[in-house]
């Protein structure tokens, strides 16, 4: 009788372990599916025509010397050109900084962060947006998030600010 009870306890324990493994696998697959759906949704924003135009506009001004101070002065004067650049800056910074915030708050994994930022646009963020943000607010810009992105993601195709094959050219990079 005692051996039967021990046998049943062993079988119950094994069944519990198998169920736990199944539940873990199911939860993992649910997380992966949710991350994939989220990632595709986020990437739609990156591949939009509006984002492509913003990246090209910022890359264009980033080739000028002293572009950040020129923009800041034009912004103070309510210059239309400065407004265009500001809109592009907000679009690009918003995409990348929001992802860094989600990562910082542990809502997305480092792997997903790298996947969603692995584009030429991250170089525009570092080379153009960050100087614009710093010119706008030297001590109050979101440096923490730029640092997270720099550390976790790095640059794309080192040395190249922005490819001519951006999102508006069929999304090919």
Domain identity same for 158 and 106: yes
End-to-end CA distance of the chain: 70
For residue 29, what are the domain limits? 1-41
pLDDT > 90 fraction of the chain, expressed in percent and rounded: 60
* 31/65 same-domain check: no
Name the DSSP class of 156: S
- The whole-number pLDDT of residue 62 equals 93
pLDDT at residue 98, as a whole number: 96
Residue 145, classified by CB atoms within 10 Å of its CB into exposed (0-12), middle (13-18) or buried (19+), is buried
Read off the pLDDT band of 43 (50, 70, 90).
confident
Question: Which pLDDT does position 166 carry in this prediction?
Answer: 37
The mean-pLDDT minimum among 22-26, 48-52, 54-58, 64-68 falls in 22-26
On average, the pLDDT of the chain sits at 85
Do residue 8 and residue 37 come from a single domain? yes
Q: Which comes out higher in pLDDT, residue 1 or 163? A: 1
| 56/104 same-domain check | yes
Instruction: Measure the CA–CA gap between 122 and 105, rounded to whole angstroms.
Output: 20
Task: Answer whether residue 24 shows pLDDT above 80.
Answer: no
Q: What is the pLDDT of residue 137?
A: 92
Same domain membership, residue 133 and residue 84: yes
Separation CA 165–CA 10 (nearest Å): 62
- 33 and 64 fall within a common domain: no
Q: Are residues 55 and 24 in the same domain?
A: no
Verify that 35 and 73 share a domain, yes or no: no
Claim to verify: residue 106 and residue 52 sit in the same structural domain: yes
Q: Please choose, from the candidates 96, 91, 99, the residue with its C-alpha nearest in 3D space to the C-alpha of residue 35.
A: 99
**172 and 47 Cβ atoms separated by less than 8 Å:** no
Q: Are residues 94 and 126 in the same domain?
A: yes
Q: What is the pTM of this model?
A: 0.76
> How many domains does the structure of the chain reveal?
2
Range with the poorest average pLDDT among 14-23, 88-97, 103-112, 119-128: 14-23
Q: Is the same domain home to 157 and 100? A: yes
Where residue 25 falls among pLDDT bands split at 50, 70, 90?
A: low
Confidence of residue 168 (pLDDT cuts 50, 70, 90): very low
| Cβ-Cβ contacts under 8 Å for 108 (sequence gap 6 or more) | 35, 38, 99, 102, 116
Tokens standing for residue 18: 């198998």
Given a cut of 80, whether residue 124 has pLDDT beyond it is yes
Same domain, 37 and 51: no
């Amino acid at each position: 009788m005692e051996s039967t009870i021990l046998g049943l306890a062993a079988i119950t324990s094994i069944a519990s372990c198998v169920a736990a493994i199944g539940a873990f696998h199911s939860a993992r697959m649910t997380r992966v599916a949710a991350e994939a759906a989220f990632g595709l949704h986020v990437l739609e924003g990156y591949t939009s025509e509006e984002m492509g135009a913003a990246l090209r506009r910022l890359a264009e001004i980033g080739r000028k010397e002293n572009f950040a101070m020129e923009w800041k002065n034009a912004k103070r004067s309510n210059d239309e050109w400065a407004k265009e650049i500001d809109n592009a800056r907000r679009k690009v910074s918003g995409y990348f900084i929001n992802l860094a915030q989600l990562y910082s708050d542990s809502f997305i994994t480092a792997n997903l962060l790298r996947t969603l930022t692995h584009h030429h646009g991250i170089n525009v963020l570092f080379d153009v947006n960050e100087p614009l943000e710093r010119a706008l607010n030297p001590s109050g810009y979101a440096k923490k998030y730029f640092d997270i992105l720099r550390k976790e993601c790095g640059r794309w195709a080192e040395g190249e600010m922005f490819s001519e094959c951006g999102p508006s050219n069929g999304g090919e990079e």
